[in-house]
Amino acid sequence: MNKEAEKINQLRAVLHQHNYNYYILDTPTINDFEFDTLLQSLIDLETKHPEFFDPNSPSQRVGGGVTKNFRNHTHKYPMYSLSNSYSKEEIEQWETRVQKVLGDQEVTYTCELKYDGASISLTYKNGVLLHGVTRGDGAQGDDVTQNLKTIPTIPLKLRGDYPDFFEIRGEIILPIKGFQAMNEERVKAGEDPYMNPRNTASGSLKTQDSALVAKRPLECFLYALAGENLKVKSQIEGLKQARLWGFKVPETAIEAKNLNEVFNYLDHWEKKRNELPYEIDGVVIKVNSFDQQSELGFTAKAPRWAIAYKFQAEEATTKLISVNYQIGRTGAVTPVANLEAVLLSGTTVKRASLHNADQIQKLELRIGDAVFVQKGGEIIPKIVGVDANSRAPIEHKINFITHCPECETLLTRIEGEAQHYCPNQTGCPPQIIGKIQHFISRKAMDIDGLGSETVTLLYHNGLVKNVADLYDLSVDDLLPLDRMAEKSVENIVKGLAQSKNKPFSKVLFGLGIRFVGETVAKKLTAAFGSIDELIAADTDALLSVDEIGERIAQSLQAYFLNPLNVALINRLKINGLQFELEKKSLSSDLVLKDKKFVVSGVFKTISRVELKEKIEFFGGTVGSSISTKTDFVVAGDGMGPSKKIKADQLDIPILSEEGFLRMISGND
């Protein structure tokens, strides 16, 4: 193999991996500019050497691969990608190509913000939402209609005079404030924050439980029509009509008469993008007339009548002064860089995330380095590189700490994880305070009168060392404390007494077991009914619960094996907290008693949630994975092939929706 062929193959392999990271894993490892540079290098080499053509080359693809968690759906009109540009000169070159095709025709352009989210296509028939599909590879995507229906900005029924049948393309985005609020809740719960709004929005579409999607502040911005007999003649007219039909279309789009107006638009939003409540990564420029768009047509990958202008990622250079290490309630150690103050995205930045020891080692950071800081949707900015021309001496190299900065306990690192942990759960002050603050939080026990500052005050005065100590507090204990008036003390005591009525799921979530969030706690309490049954559950029993994987099962078992945790639970029991599920009413005819079901796919006359409720009502139980203990699989449309293969291998009966309904009606 010659050098050129080898280089082409290497680039293809690298780009395939980055496509996989971005589209399938939602964890990109390079930014858009770096990816586009690599892709252009490959295109240039392939153009020079057509003898090495490969139909599966990344240069031939519209986007990433299709995931199989949802039923595949072919787009009636392909969702093409856009050619990218990073300079005004490239926009001028694009206009020259447009004019070459259109000749002397007068051309106007639309300029629209390029929203940074997850692309989807919605199909409407007779004014009603028929289905919603992710972009996938441009030719087919995943049917995520049920999840999309939970987003308020997607109309289920249209208004006014709309076409009988059409598709409309849009972007699912997560506004910055909503994203930050979600991350703050995750951090308080001891969970890792989400990476950025775009990945979180994309991941939301692939979430199995639409009820979880409904809780996320997602929005849908619509930007393009596709179909015949659309009753509009241009892009700008289409946007105006879409608003009238009930779609959310931001008012930021304009019609530009020439490139000077286009460039003014680019300059304006490059300066003002940080004032928007959502993230954008550029501007999309389109030939406005639909007739002219048809005349220009498409290349194999992109429309000739549109181009994207990408903004450079916002970055600033500053000096690394020092590194602090923060301890979370789970014991996770997070390094935080202290920086020389620098203006970035309209705010003064003095701190930046370093994530973990691997990140510090990868960057080979030294105190005094000139570092590149980038701000995305994260709570705080991150260091993305070091200026090689302004390095500090090697003796200032940062070595990750070996002992907890709070209690001096030797840190541990679990194999396969990037994070270091302080294992001293019962003696490390930030862990103790964090656990109690989590316990009293709104989504857990929601104790009136108690706040984070009060918990810190109680700890430092020696009144509480764990959550059970809260229920031993008396008026006499609290009154001598600073800022504790009689009314405040009465509210705290009353709030603690009322919290004893909180349901089992709230108590379990409040314990702060690693990986046991609010939803997982509800799943576990529904499956096991009491804390005693949960403690006694073996691995198979835990894994049979919907959405419980090995990581959660291992965390639960490790928690309950610690005698201090069991003692804490026993103290809370004695204090009257609820560790048992309220018994739901069951059918007098328990036709499914002792039968275990797995539900998979989408159903026509009943939702997945309703189907599971019926199973439980008639005495059955619901698991998430097929095992030798499974009695039946109830299969709807789009059941995963791996589940069908496993059911066949284990000789487990597969029921249709109709078959299941006959079973519970006694007609089977």
Nearest to 567 by CA among 500, 641, 467: 467
Query: Strand 347-353 relative to strand 370-374: parallel, antiparallel, unpaired?
Result: unpaired
Residue 583: Cβ-neighbour burial (10 angstroms; 0-12, 13-18, 19+): exposed
Nearest to 600 by CA among 564, 553, 633, 571: 633
Both tokens assigned to 493: 């005591």
Residue 348: Cβ-neighbour burial (10 angstroms; 0-12, 13-18, 19+): exposed
The answer to whether 432 and 459 are in contact (CB under 8 A) is: yes
The answer to whether 122 and 167 are in contact (CB under 8 A) is: yes
**The residue type at 26:** D
DSSP 582-639: PPPP--SS-TTTT-EEEEESB-SSS-HHHHHHHHHHTT-EEESS--TT--EEEE-BT-
The answer to whether 169 and 78 are in contact (CB under 8 A) is: no
DSSP 297-310: -B-SSSBTTEEEEE
Both tokens assigned to 562: 């610690």
Among residues 3, 7, 114, 643, which one is catalytic? 114
Distance of alpha carbon 263 from alpha carbon 247, whole angstroms: 28
Radius of gyration of the chain (CA): 29
Terminal-to-terminal C-alpha distance of the chain: 65
Distance of alpha carbon 555 from alpha carbon 563, whole angstroms: 15
Q: Phi and psi at residue 420, in whole multiples of 5°?
A: -95, 150
Both tokens assigned to 246: 């009930």
Query: Strand 315-327 relative to strand 332-344: parallel, antiparallel, unpaired?
Result: antiparallel
Residue 23: Cβ-neighbour burial (10 angstroms; 0-12, 13-18, 19+): buried
* 320 CB-near residues (< 8 Å, 6+ apart): 337, 338, 339, 365, 366, 367, 368, 369, 370, 371, 383, 392
Residues in a beta bridge with 599: 634
* 373 CB-near residues (< 8 Å, 6+ apart): 315, 316, 317, 318, 339, 342, 344, 349, 352, 381, 382, 383, 384
Both tokens assigned to 198: 């775009």
Nearest to 133 by CA among 239, 212, 124: 124
The answer to whether 95 and 146 are in contact (CB under 8 A) is: no
Distance of alpha carbon 114 from alpha carbon 116, whole angstroms: 6
- Residue 114 is a catalytic residue: yes
The answer to whether 450 and 438 are in contact (CB under 8 A) is: no
Catalytic residues: 114
